[in-house]
């Protein structure tokens, strides 16, 4: 019997048809532990050597040299390592590493991470810019904001301007070259064996309403010619293709998301990527826009 809530099964079947069984297997099966090398502090070669010295078997992702998949170690084994304590590695799902790669920040660019805690993507954005982008990171929840501050400090990302604020309340006069909107969502792509699978239509409606407001705000805050990356860890079209429709309605233009062919995909609107849940990847959605 599927571990997925009945209502979610119905919706996933409606979206993915014959591929539902692939989605179900990906969600209900085991998920491998993956980590990202924090190049603000160390190199992939040093991390590979430290993992090997600790007897942890790791495979480097061919699509991103800073990403490792651990063949059979648990997260606790990583947390026990000195390099984890020093913030040299960050436990992060492969799929969650994709939106910052798509946004591709560069030195000197003015970036906004609208909904940032716990901060895996914020620190990755800074690392991808060689530590040289100007990043504002917002989080409205106090507990999650503390976690963001802790992670920024540990990862050597103190130059990020972290703000405990509702991104919807940001001054419209602010303008950014690049914006990441890793939106709050139902999380239907990240369910896995052992996780508590909760889903309701009311929760979905609350998430989509907030996503629409955040997209509208992102549009106001984006410089002309700038780039917005919208992502969710959901597989539901209301939160993904529906959000794209809203962005287009607001005058944003869709740009193709370009990712290596080895990233597993489900069918999605042309130009966007819906990552198929597998042992290595969580279910995720990514769309890229300009103004
Ligand atoms: N990008 C994060 C990362 O990679 O670590 C994960 C972000 S999580 C999907 C969404 C976050 O948005 C949650 O921490 C939530 O509290 C926050 N959030 C929701 N609404 C918000 C708002 N209006 N302004 C700022 N943060 C918000």
Other Cβ atoms closer than 10 A to 59: 14
Confidence of residue 178 (pLDDT cuts 50, 70, 90): very high
Contacts of residue 197, Cβ cutoff 8 Å, sequence gap at least 6: 3, 4, 5, 8, 191
The answer to whether residues 75 and 174 belong to one domain is: no
140 lines ligand 1 (CB under 6 A): yes
Q: Give the whole-number percent of the chain exceeding pLDDT 90.
A: 92
- 4 in any annotated domain: no
Residues in the chain: 291
Give the rounded percent of residues in the chain with a pLDDT score beyond 70: 97
Cα–ligand 1 centroid distance for 116 (angstroms):
5
Domain hosting 52: range is: 32-91
Predicted confidence (pLDDT) at residue 127 exceeds the cutoff of 50: yes
Q: Is the pLDDT of residue 1 over 60?
A: no
Question: Given ligand 1 and candidates 35, 113, 116, 150, which is best to mutate, with the most ligand atoms within 8 Å of its CB?
Answer: 116
Mean of pLDDT over the chain:
96
Looking at the structure, tell me whether residues 206 and 107 fall in a common domain: yes
Domain boundary among 75, 91, 107: 91
Q: Are residues 230 and 158 in the same domain?
A: yes
Which CATH number does the domain housing residue 158 bear?
3.40.50.150
Are 80 and 106 part of one and the same domain? no
Same domain, 178 and 239: yes
In angstroms, rounded to a whole number, what is the distance separating the alpha carbons of residues 187 and 204? 10
Q: Which atom of ligand 1 is nearest to the CA of 114?
A: 25
Identify the active-site residue in 138, 185, 233, 274. Answer: 233
CA of 272 to the centre of ligand 1 (A): 21
Q: Provide the CATH number for the domain around residue 56.
A: 3.30.70.1170
Q: Are residues 150 and 266 in the same domain?
A: yes
The pLDDT value recorded for residue 165 is 98
pLDDT for 183-235, tens place per residue? 999 999 998 656 666 788 999 999 999 999 999 999 999 999 999 999 999 99
Question: Helix (H, G, I), strand (E, B), or coil: what is residue 91?
Answer: strand
pLDDT in tens, 246-265: 999 999 999 999 999 999 99
Cβ neighbours of residue 152 under 8 Å, at least 6 residues apart? Answer: 119, 122, 123, 137, 158, 160, 162
pTM of the model: 0.97
10 lies in some domain: no
- Please tell me whether residue 62 adopts helix, strand or coil conformation: coil
When pLDDT is averaged across residues 114-135 and rounded to a whole number, the result is: 98
Q: How many domains does the chain have?
A: 2
Answer yes or no: do 43 and 165 share one domain: no
Last residue of a domain, one of 43, 73, 91: 91
The pLDDT of residue 191 is: 81
- Phi, psi of 158, rounded to the nearest 5 degrees: -65, -20
Known catalytic residue at 233: yes
Q: What is the pLDDT of residue 196?
A: 66
pLDDT the model gives residue 73: 80
Q: Do residues 126 and 159 make contact, with C-beta atoms less than 8 angstroms apart?
A: yes
**Amino acid 198: pLDDT:** 77
Q: Is residue 22 part of a domain?
A: no
């Amino acid at each position: 019997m599927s571990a997925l809530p009945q209502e979610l099964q119905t919706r996933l079947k409606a979206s993915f048809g014959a591929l539902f069984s692939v989605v179900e297997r990906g969600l209900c099966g085991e998920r491998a532990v993956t980590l990202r090398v924090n190049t603000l502090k160390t190199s992939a070669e040093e991390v590979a050597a430290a993992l090997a010295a600790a007897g942890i078997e790791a495979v480097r992702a061919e699509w991103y040299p800073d990403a490792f998949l651990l063949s059979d170690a648990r997260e606790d084994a990583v947390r026990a390592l000195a390099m984890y304590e020093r913030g040299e590695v960050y436990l992060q799902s492969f799929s969650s590493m994709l939106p910052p790669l798509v946004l591709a920040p560069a030195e000197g660019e003015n970036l906004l991470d609208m909904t940032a805690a716990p901060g895996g993507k914020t620190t990755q954005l800074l690392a991808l810019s060689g530590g040289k982008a100007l990043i504002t990171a917002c989080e409205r929840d106090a507990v999650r904001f503390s976690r963001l501050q802790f992670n920024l400090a540990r990862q050597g990302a103190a130059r990020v301007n972290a703000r405990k604020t509702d991104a919807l309340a940001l001054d419209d006069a602010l303008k950014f070259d690049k914006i990441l909107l890793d939106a709050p969502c139902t999380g239907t792509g990240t369910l896995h064996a052992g996780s508590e699978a909760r889903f309701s239509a009311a929760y979905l409606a609350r998430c989509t309403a907030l996503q629409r407001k955040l997209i509208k705000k992102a549009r106001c805050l984006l410089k002309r010619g700038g780039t917005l990356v919208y992502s969710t860890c959901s597989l539901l079209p209301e939160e993904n293709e529906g959000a794209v429709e809203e962005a287009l309605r607001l005058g944003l233009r869709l740009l193709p998301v370009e990712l290596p062919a080895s990233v597993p995909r489900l069918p999605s609107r042309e130009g966007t990527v819906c990552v198929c849940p597998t042992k290595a990847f969580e279910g995720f959605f990514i769309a890229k826009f300009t103004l």
